[in-house]
């Protein structure tokens, strides 16, 4: 198959692989935030009940558990990426991912010792070195785990079915994968990382500095860029780079050099150091006006412009989309209602999100890592008024009015076929029965037929809200049938790869299709 196909298949899967550690990260961030908020001196002096020793132990434990994910994020990526990228023997790939990352750092340590560049404990941070899994090594951050995971995944694809001479048959097949990983990642750790990482770090720091000197406009580019990457499923990569690498900045925090905007935020939060706008404007607080106010306004505009007889059928879809955006910080179910129907409106949404990133930074809001309602409460009101969380609500009200007026005008002016504006119809099945073609009526059989049947599928997977499907030929798909089956929209990446936007119910749909494929 074509190189273009390989490119899209790889980056679809890579973006999806980020969702597993990011999902854990979201929960860990809540635990860390709740633990830090309620064990702090400020809240205990304000509300004496939280000074109870038992509650204090609970909050301390929540804080420690939450911190675990952030301290071990690189190895989590190193395991999750092979797990997601390979199609067979996933457990072997995950095991090899751990082996690969661990041995890479052991090999880096050996190289540093042999070249006399192993820094002392006092100079470790300044030398770009740190302790990882008990080994002093070059601090490659999460990017080291990502690179290690990708290499291991490629090794797995190449060698998991290898056949060896009879005398070595015990080591063939999947048993060979961790073995070849051991030797390959040893070479990577000894020769490659110590040679290229200083050069790579130089350019990464330069790019991070470029974003930093862009000031408020840099935050605008981050917010708008992330939204614009959503249709391609590549937004996780951008956010991961900003959160966990030098692109998001490097800072000396209480004598510890920390890399990545999110890592810096949690380190400062842990140590009780006030968050500044230079850091917070690069975090997800900038989404809140669009997530909490803008997209609910879109849902209201869609509801108000729908045909009266269709409103009862789309109400559930819109309400669940709003709840998902506010509670879970997942916006695709609402965004894909208009992305492909009216791309200019999506560009407008991306610009508005970028503007909210920029304006909140200019207004001195320092809520930081709050992309959902729980995070907003934890890092906003519970921390007092000094972080100016209330300005998010003020800006959000303005955003609600602008979004609603713009979307309602555009839907009516250009007669956009947003949900509920089509005449309700029925589709006759081969057995003579009919299925009501309404929003939220999920039919796995129709989606399977719509993508050309089982014989047209190479692979199928899913992320938070969409099916990611590799086909033998995407030109034969029936988008109308897919939409009848519950697909909100279809993204054709190239001749072989498509994404079907389902919403929060995507895992249920994926399981139903998997069952049909086994029949």
Residues marked as catalytic? 463
H helix intervals, 138-245: 141-159, 176-187, 193-213, 216-229, 235-244
**DSSP readout, 488-509?**
SEEEE-SSSEEEEE--TTHHHH
Q: Which two tokens stand for residue 232?
A: 């391609």
Q: Are 278 and 212 in contact, with CB atoms under 8 Å apart? A: yes
Residues in Cβ contact with 449 at an 8 Å cutoff, skipping those fewer than 6 apart: 478, 481, 485
Strand partners for 461: 468
* Class of residue 116 by CB neighbours under 10 A (exposed 0-12, middle 13-18, buried 19+): exposed
Tokens found for residue 458: 């190479």
List residues bridging with 460 in a β-sheet.
Answer: 469
Residues 3, 8: Cα–Cα separation, whole Å? 9
What's the CA gap between 260 and 246, in Å, rounded?
A: 5
What values do phi and psi take at 302, rounded to 5?
-65, -40
DSSP state of 131: E
User: What letter does residue 307 receive in the DSSP assignment?
Assistant: -
Q: By CB neighbour count within 10 A (0-12 exposed, 13-18 middle, 19+ buried), where does 432 fall?
A: exposed
Q: Token pair for residue 32?
A: 């860390």
Could you give phi then psi for residue 501, rounded to 5 degrees? Answer: -80, 120
């Amino acid at each position: 198959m074509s190189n273009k196909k390989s490119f899209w298949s790889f980056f679809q899967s890579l973006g999806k692989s980020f969702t597993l550690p990011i999902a854990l990260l979201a929960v860990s961030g809540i635990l860390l935030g709740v633990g830090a908020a309620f064990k702090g001196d400020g809240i205990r002096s304000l509300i004496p009940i939280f000074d109870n020793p038992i509650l204090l132990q609970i909050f301390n434990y929540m804080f420690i558990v939450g911190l675990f994910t952030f301290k071990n994020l690189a190895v989590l990526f190193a395991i999750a990426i092979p797990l997601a990228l390979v199609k067979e023997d996933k457990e072997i790939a995950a095991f090899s991912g751990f082996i690969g990352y661990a041995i890479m750092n052991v090999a880096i340590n050996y190289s540093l010792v042999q070249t006399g560049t192993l820094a002392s404990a006092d100079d470790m941070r300044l030398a770009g070195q740190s302790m990882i899994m008990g080994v002093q090594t070059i601090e490659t951050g999460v990017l080291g785990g990502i690179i290690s995971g990708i290499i291991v995944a490629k090794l797995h694809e190449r060698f998991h079915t290898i056949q060896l001479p009879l005398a070595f048959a015990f080591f063939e097949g999947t048993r060979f994968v961790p073995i070849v990983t051991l030797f390959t990642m040893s070479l990577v750790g000894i020769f490659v990382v110590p040679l290229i990482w200083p050069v790579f770090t130089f350019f990464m720091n330069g790019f991070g500095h470029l974003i930093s000197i862009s000031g408020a406009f840099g935050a605008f580019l981050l917010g708008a860029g992330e939204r614009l990457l959503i249709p391609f499923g590549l937004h996780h990569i951008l956010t991961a780079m900003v959160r966990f690498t030098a692109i998001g900045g490097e800072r000396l925090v209480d004598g510890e050099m920390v890399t990545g905007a999110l890592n810096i935020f949690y380190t400062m939060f842990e140590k009780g150091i006030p968050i500044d706008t230079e850091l917070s404007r690069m975090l997800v607080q900038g989404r809140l006006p669009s997530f909490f106010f803008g997209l609910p306004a879109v849902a209201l505009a869609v509801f108000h412009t729908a045909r009266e007889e269709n409103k009862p059928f789309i109400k559930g879809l819109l309400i669940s989309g709003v709840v998902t955006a506010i509670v879970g910080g997942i916006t695709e179910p609402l965004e894909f209602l208009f992305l492909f129907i009216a791309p200019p409106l999506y560009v407008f949404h991306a610009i508005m999100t970028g503007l909210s990133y920029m304006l909140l930074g200019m207004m001195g809001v320092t809520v930081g890592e709050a992309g959902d309602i729980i995070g907003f409460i934890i890092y906003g009101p519970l921390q007092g008024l000094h972080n100016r969380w209330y300005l998010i609500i003020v800006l959000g009200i303005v955003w609600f009015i602008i979004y609603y007026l713009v979307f309602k005008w555009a839907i009516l002016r250009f007669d956009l076929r947003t949900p509920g504006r089509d005449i309700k119809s029925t589709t006759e099945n081969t057995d003579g029965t009919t299925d009501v073609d309404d929003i939220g009526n999920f039919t796995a059989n129709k989606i399977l037929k719509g993508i050309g049947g089982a014989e047209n599928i190479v692979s199928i997977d899913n992320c938070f809200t969409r099916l990611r499907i590799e086909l033998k030929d995407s030109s034969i798909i029936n988008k109308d049938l897919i939409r009848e089956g519950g697909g909100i929209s279809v993204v054709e990446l190239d001749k072989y790869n498509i994404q079907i936007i389902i919403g929060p119910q995507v895992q249920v749909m994926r399981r139903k299709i998997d069952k049909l494929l086994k029949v």
